[in-house]
Chain A
Amino acid sequence: MASASGQSPTGFFTELGRSVITLMEQVGGAGTLFFDALGYIARGQAHLRRTVAQMGIVGIDSLPIALLTLLFGGMVLGLHTAHQMVRFNAGGLVGGMVAVSVARELGPTLTGIVVAARVGSAMAAELGTMRVTEQVDALRSLATSPTEYLVVPRLLACAIMLPVLTVFADLAGGLGAYFVALAGGVRPAEYLLSARQWLQFSDFFGGLSKTVVFGIIIALVGCYQGLTTSGGAAGVGRSTTRAVVYSIVLIYIANFFLSELIFKLWR
C-alpha cells in the first residue's frame, strides 16, 4: 500500500538500504585508499617534487583566503565578546576568552573549512577530470599507481600544510579580535595580560594537532571522490560538490571528538 507521500514502506526501506550500502562502500573505499597511501608513505615512496608542488597549492595559495576568513572571524568574536564583557565590567577577560577560542576552535575549524572548499574541491575536480578522460587509466597502463602518483603527495601536503596555515590564521584571528576589542572599550594591557594568563601551550598545539586530521580528511575525500568519478562533466560536478560537503561534515564531526579527546588528555 502506498504511503501518504506516494512511496510504499518497502520502497522506503529499499531506498534506505541502498543509501546505507552506498555509504559503506564510500567509507570502505576511502579507508582502503588511506591504507594504500599509508603503505606507500611507509615504504618511502612519496614523490618529493610533487609533494612540494602540492604543498604550495595547499599552503601558499590558500594563505590569503585563510587569513581573511580568520581576520574577520576574529573581529566578529572580539566584537561580541567585548560588547558583552564590558557591559558586565569584565573587559579584563576578553583577551583570554578570545585567545583560547581562536586557538582551540575558530582557527583550526575555519581553516579546515576554507581549505576543504578551496583545495578539496580542486582535487576532486582535477582527479575527476583525469578519471573521465582516461588519464587515470593511462597512469595505470604506464605501470604507475594513481595512489602513489596522485594521492600520496596531496595527502602529505594537506597533513603538513594545514597546521602551518592554522598558525598564521590563528595570528590573524587574534589580531582582528584585539583591534576590535580595543575599539569596544577593552584596555590593551588587560587584553594582553589575560590572553597570556589563559592561553596554554596545550590550547595552541591541541588546535594544531586537530588540523593534521582535518588535512587528511580533506585530501582523502577529495582524492577518493575524484578517482571514483563517472558520468562525464556532470559527474565531475557531482564529485566536486560531494567532496566539499563530505569534507566539511566530517571536519565538524571529527572536531567534536578530537576536541573531547585532545583537551581531556592535555588537561
Chain B
Amino acid sequence: MIKLVDLSYQVDGKLVLDRVNLEVGKGEIVAIMGRSGSGKTTILHLINGLVRPTGGEIWVEGREISRLNERQLNQVRRRMALVFQYSALFDSMTVADNVAFALRQHHLLPAREIPEAVASRLELVGMEGSEALLPAQLSGGMQKRVAVARALAMAPEIILYDEPTSGLDPVAAHEVDSLMRQLRSKLQVTSLVVSHDVVSLFRLADRIAVLHDGQFVALGTTAELLTSTVPIVRQFIEGRLEMPARADADPGRPGMERR
C-alpha cells in the first residue's frame, strides 16, 4: 500500500531523513514514534506530496509518486487523506462546509446529498449536530474529530495521522484511538500514525517504527518493541531523561533490526 525506499530529505543543509525504508500493508495501522523534531511529520508530508524528497522513492498503491507533478499528485491525494497535527480546519468555514469541502470541490456527490453525507461523517466521529459551528467555537479535541471527518469525506483508502492525540485529555485520546480502530475494521482503511504518545500508540498500532537521527532504529510489533533492548527505544518507552549506558554512539544496537 505504502512503501518508502531509501527515502531522504534534506532542508537548509540539515539531513532530516537519511535513507529511510518502510512498508505498510493494506488495512494495517503502523505508527512512527520519535522525539519532537525527529522528522516524523516530514514523512507524512512526503507521502502526501506536500514536500519533495531529496532522495529515494515513495510508492503508494504500486505507483512511484515522488516525481509526479501537482496535477498527478492530486489523483493520488483523492485516495489518501492527511489529518494535520493542529487540525488545519478552514477557519472561515463552518464545520459542515469543512467536511463537505472535498465533496463540493471535486463534485463527488449531487448538492442535495451533501448535507446527509456530512451528517453521516460527523456521526462517525461523534460530532453530530455541530454542522453550523465555526472551528473557533470547538475545543482542540472536537477540532481533531472534525478534521478526521473531513479526511473521511473522500472515502480514502489511506489516512495519515499527525499527532492525533496530542493536546487531548486521556478520555478524548482514547476516543480518537477507538475511532481509528473503527475506521480500520469498518472501512479497511490503512493508517500511518505519527505520535510521541507511547500509551496511545501501543494501544492502537499493529507495528511501530522508532525514528531517531533521521533513521528508523527499530521496527516491530508492539510486543517486540516492549521487549526491545535498543537503548533509544527503551528510553522512549520508559520516558527516561537519559539513554541507558553509552547508547548515543549507536542507538540502533544491540539486538534490534535496523531498517
Does B86 lie within 8 Å of A145, measured CB to CB? no
* CA distance in complex: A141, B50 (Å): 7
* CA distance in complex: A135, B86 (Å): 10
A142 interface residue per 8 A CB criterion: yes
Does A140 lie within 8 Å of B84, measured CB to CB? no
Does A143 lie within 8 Å of B50, measured CB to CB? no
Q: Chain A contacts of B86 at CB under 8 A?
A: 133-134
Does B102 lie within 8 Å of A143, measured CB to CB? yes
- A interface footprint on B49-81 (CB within 8 Å = 1, 0 otherwise): 110000000000000000000100011011001
A144 interface residue per 8 A CB criterion: yes
A24 interface residue per 8 A CB criterion: no
* Chain A nearest CB, measured from B167 CB (Å): 15
Does B88 lie within 8 Å of A145, measured CB to CB? no
* CA distance in complex: A197, B229 (Å): 94
* CA distance in complex: A145, B70 (Å): 8
Does B50 lie within 8 Å of A137, measured CB to CB? yes
Instruction: Given A142-B105, A143-B106, decide whether A137 and B74 contact each other with a Cβ distance below 8 A.
Output: no
B48 interface residue per 8 A CB criterion: yes
Does B91 lie within 8 Å of A140, measured CB to CB? no
List A residues 136-186 near B (Cβ within 8 Å). 137-138, 140-145, 149
Does A137 lie within 8 Å of B102, measured CB to CB? no
Does B91 lie within 8 Å of A135, measured CB to CB? yes
Does B77 lie within 8 Å of A142, measured CB to CB? yes
Closest A residue, CB atoms, query B48:
A141
Enumerate 14 A-B pairs (CB-CB under 8 Å) in ascending A order. A133-B86, A133-B88, A133-B91, A135-B89, A135-B90, A135-B91, A138-B89, A141-B81, A142-B77, A142-B154, A143-B78, A143-B102, A144-B74, A144-B102
Instruction: Please list the residues of chain A having a beta carbon within 8 angstroms of any beta carbon in chain B.
Output: 133-135, 137-138, 140-145, 149
Instruction: Please list the residues of chain B having a beta carbon within 8 angstroms of any beta carbon in chain A.
Output: 45, 48-50, 70, 74-75, 77-78, 81-82, 84-86, 88-91, 101-102, 105-106, 150, 154
The 5 closest A-B pairs by CB, nearest first: A134-B88, A138-B88, A143-B74, A143-B77, A141-B82
